[in-house]
Amino acid sequence: MSYRAFISMDVEELPKVVEFSEGLRRLGSSLKVVDPSIIHMTLKFLGETDEALTPRIKEAMERSIVGIPPMLLKFKGVGVFPNMSRIRVVWIGTEGGENMSLIARRLDDELSGYGFRKEGRPFVPHMTLARTREGFSAAGAATLIEASKGEEVGEQVMDTLRLKSSVLSPRGPTYSTVEEVKLKG
């Protein structure tokens, strides 16, 4: 049996993220806004994953955090992928995410040995707020995004790496934790 999986660190619901998400939601249905209660920072997307690999994935997660203590992340600055003229994803960036990037690189290396594809681009610590749909006009979002580019959103101590299962539905995704490991340093 398999499940759709990813490895992430959860982000608590932050008032400024909720406020910004509501602003995005008002831009219309051409933006699929992520429910602020399930926002997380994905370090590695695995896709369809055989349940039999779960113990090995947990071991890889444990090895990826060796020597890394809990980290204080400051969430700051709204950005987009790939660029402002062709927005596909709206996100909030971080300060203090160097160790998160290190964990992501280690996960990428560790999990490639189990058949998971290595990332072709560098890891950028961020939380996804919205994805664009057909008919999206960047012009409407540009003002909101530009006004929030340098805004501080909050901070959080990140201390738990989680293997998550994702079930997609028309109402949005449902996530559940399959395994977790704590950062100790």
Query: 62: part of which helix (H) or strand (E)?
Result: helix 54-64
CA–chain centroid gap for 86, Å, is 20
Active site residues: 40, 126
**What distance in Å separates the CA atoms of residue 6 and residue 46, rounded to the nearest whole number?**
5
Write b or e for each residue in 50-67: b if 16 or more Cβ atoms lie within 10 A of its Cβ, otherwise e. eeebbeebbebbeebbee
Cβ neighbours of residue 178 closer than 8 Å, sequence gap 6 or more? 3, 5, 54, 162, 163, 164, 165
Cβ neighbours of residue 72 closer than 8 Å, sequence gap 6 or more? 96, 155, 156, 157, 158
- Per the CB < 8 A criterion, the answer to whether 116 and 107 are in contact is no
- Per the CB < 8 A criterion, the answer to whether 94 and 74 are in contact is yes
